[in-house]
Amino acid sequence: PASDQFNIEFLGDKQKDVTVEVYNMVGELVKSISSVGLTSHINIDMTDETTGVYIINIKTAQETFTKKLSLVK
C-alpha cells in the first residue's frame, strides 16, 4: 500500500520515454506522467487522491506493464 506518494524504479538500464497513467476503479484517468529522455525512476504524488484501489499503466518503448495500487490515507 502507498499513502501519499509512490516511486517506480527501473532496475538495470535507464528507460527512455516512459509514460505512467493512473486510473481509478471507475476507469477515469486521474494522473498521467511522462518522462522524455533517459530516466531511472519516476515519483507519483497521490496526495490529492482518495483512499482506494488504482490501476497503474507503465509504458516504455519496449513494454507495457499494468499493476494494482492500494492507496491508504
pLDDT at 17: 83
Angle at 17 between CA 40 and CA 65, to 5 degrees: 75
pLDDT at 68: 96
Euclidean distance between CA atoms 73 and 62, whole angstroms? 34
Model confidence pLDDT, tens digit, residues 2-42: 888 888 887 766 677 889 999 999 999 999 999 877 788 88
pLDDT at 28: 98
pLDDT at 1: 75
pLDDT at 12: 66
Residues 41-51 have a mean pLDDT of 92
pLDDT at 54: 97
Contacting residues for 46 by C-beta, under 8 A, at least 6 apart? 2, 4, 5, 6, 22, 31, 54, 71
Euclidean distance between CA atoms 27 and 9, whole angstroms? 25
Angle at 31 between CA 44 and CA 13, to 5 degrees: 50
